[in-house]
Amino acid sequence: MPAAQDTHGPGVDLHLELSAVGGRRAVLIEALRAAVRDGRLAPGTRLPPYRSLAADLGIARNTVADAYAELVAEGWLTSRQGSGTRVADRVAAPAPRPVHPTAPPPLPYDLVQGKPDPGSFPRAAWLAAARRALTAAPHEAFGIGDPHGRIELRRALAEYLARVRGVRTTPDRIVVCSGAAHALRLLARVLGPAAPWAVEAYGLPFHRGLLAEAGVGTVPVAVDEDGARVAEIPRHARAVLLTPAHQFPTGGPLHPERRAGVLGWARDSGGLVIEDDYDGEFRYDRRPVGAVQGLDPERTVLIGSVSKSLSPTLRIGWMCLPSALVDPVVAAKGQREPYASATDQLTLADLLASGAYDQHVRRMRQRHRGRRDRLTAVLAERVPGVRVTGIAAGLHAVVELPPGTERSALAAAARYGVAVEGLASYRHADARGPAHPDGLVVGYATPPERLYGAALDALCAALTDRPAGRGAAAAS
């Protein structure tokens, strides 16, 4: 049966499955009981007025009124003057079944990298920006979207990225997407699978995986304290994917000579430099490192998003493209933009143009720096045998461990309720040469403030309660 619609004033809709067998009153009563038993009508749910339900179901008003009265008498429903008829609170809905009954419960202390604290989202600033943006938006903004992205956001991004990251671009060379992963999928589709991409030997397995799904092979390039060893990039590679501002996850910016070197490789080979600017805004101990894209915009694609600075749920990212790639990327994206919400794009454009985004980033930079300092101070005091690296920028640090102890440290962290990742999990399966030291990749942005101290206590306890590995005695 269709949902009931109240034609006698404000009401609610209700979908009921009525049996074709039996009297109308009895059938209606059983349908309502079944809806309550199944949990489709939760305790406290308001039912439609009997007149509107009767009109929708095509039965007599008295039949519905009698059914309601019977269920009130049985305790399934309650009815009060001015409050309407509702499902009784004492009728318990069935407990929902777990989607993954065998999945382990989440650990209480989340120190996994790459996730800002959800509680830090600037709700008031976002709401004010949304109100301004929606008030000023043209009517066409609520129609079928432009696959390039809203022009308001592309203009705001061009100005912001030039000012903050040294990017050289124009609004017509920016394509809005739903994040870094979406950008990589589009680029993989445009560049094709004929030649592999070079990638840093340590990086996100997820990114390598999505390239593999697109049929694109990857060749690892070793990294050290100066970033990727760009001299090792194969000449036949179609592109190289780098994190120059802050190598992920080992830390450290790409050395200026290597910046020049990778652009030389691109000019000589005809390859493309793909720059993942995943946390370029969060630098603490030195001046910001400009984007490689600003040195050669025609040979570099810069990828950015708001997943670290605002929230990954916004699903807004961007690509600053060489002029020759704009049309192919837009064609690959498709004419019906199904990804980034136009209203969110308009809101972010206002946030950038008004300066509220800058204010939020500065506030978060100060907060993250304070958390990083607490992490390093606590570890230095309580676990003096470890070395903390990669802390000049970003939302995580690498806690280096004695050789052979990474697995035991991860196991101990789980015992103490700490969700954290090992450095080895980021290493490319085909990487050759010496690996980085054993270590944990510790994110310090996610826990709410009330839990951060306890999370650090649990981490320290885990690091001091594990079997010694080979070399541990020498490191202590």
Residue 71 sits at the vertex; the CA angle it makes with 65 and 73, to the nearest 5 degrees, is 100
Residues 321 and 195 in one domain: yes
Whether 116 maps to a domain, the answer reads no
Residues 412 and 341 in one domain: no
Q: Are 153 and 346 in contact (CB under 8 A)?
A: yes
CATH number at residue 427: 3.90.1150.10
Residues 73 and 163 in one domain: no
Residues 152 and 178 in one domain: yes
- Residues with Cβ within 8 Å of 337's Cβ and at least 6 positions away in sequence, in order, are 144, 145, 146, 147, 149
Residue 253 predicted with pLDDT over 70? yes
Q: What are the percentages of helix, strand and coil residues in the chain, rounded to 5?
A: 45, 15, 45
Q: Are 401 and 386 in contact (CB under 8 A)?
A: yes
Q: What is the pTM of this model?
A: 0.81
Position 98 scores a pLDDT of 53
Residues 90 and 28 in one domain: yes
Residues 130 and 63 in one domain: no
Q: How many domains does the chain have?
A: 3
Q: Are 175 and 315 in contact (CB under 8 A)?
A: no
Residue 431, phi then psi, degrees to nearest 5 = -65, 140
Residue 218 predicted with pLDDT over 90? yes
Q: What is the pLDDT of residues 14-42, one digit of tens each?
A: 888 787 667 888 889 898 998 888 888 88
Percent of residues, the chain, with pLDDT higher than 70: 90
Exposed / middle / buried, residue 138 (Cβ in 10 Å: 0-12, 13-18, 19+): exposed
Residues 345 and 217 in one domain: yes
Residue 17, domain extent: 1-100
| Alpha carbon separation from 200 to 249, 297, 473 (Å, rounded) | 10, 21, 32
Exposed / middle / buried, residue 298 (Cβ in 10 Å: 0-12, 13-18, 19+): middle
Whether 293 maps to a domain, the answer reads yes
For residue 249, whether the previous peptide bond is cis, meaning omega lies within 30 degrees of 0, is yes
Length of the chain: 476
Residues 277 and 200 in one domain: yes
Q: What is the mean pLDDT of residues 119-146?
A: 95
Residues 323 and 418 in one domain: no
Q: What is the pLDDT of residues 349-378, one digit of tens each?
A: 999 999 999 999 999 999 999 999 999 999
Q: Are strands 197-200 and 239-242 parallel, antiparallel or unpaired?
A: parallel
Residues 148 and 272 in one domain: yes
Q: What is the mean pLDDT of residues 312-334?
A: 95
Residue 132 predicted with pLDDT over 50? yes
What is the Cα Rg of the chain in Å? Answer: 28
CATH number at residue 48: 1.10.10.10
Lowest mean pLDDT among 87-96, 138-147, 153-162, 367-376: 87-96
Whether 235 maps to a domain, the answer reads yes
- Residues with Cβ within 8 Å of 280's Cβ and at least 6 positions away in sequence, in order, are 165, 245, 246, 288, 289, 291, 304
Exposed / middle / buried, residue 52 (Cβ in 10 Å: 0-12, 13-18, 19+): buried
Position 58 scores a pLDDT of 83
- Residues with Cβ within 8 Å of 96's Cβ and at least 6 positions away in sequence, in order, are 39
Alpha helix stretches (DSSP H) within 137-239: 151-165, 180-191, 205-213
Q: What is the mean pLDDT of residues 113-117?
A: 91
Residue 135 sits at the vertex; the CA angle it makes with 131 and 139, to the nearest 5 degrees, is 135
CATH number at residue 306: 3.40.640.10
Residues 441 and 344 in one domain: no
Whether 109 maps to a domain, the answer reads no
Residue whose pair of structure tokens reads 């920006």 in the numeric block: 129
Position 73 scores a pLDDT of 86
Q: Write down the mean pLDDT value for the chain.
A: 89
Position 159 scores a pLDDT of 97
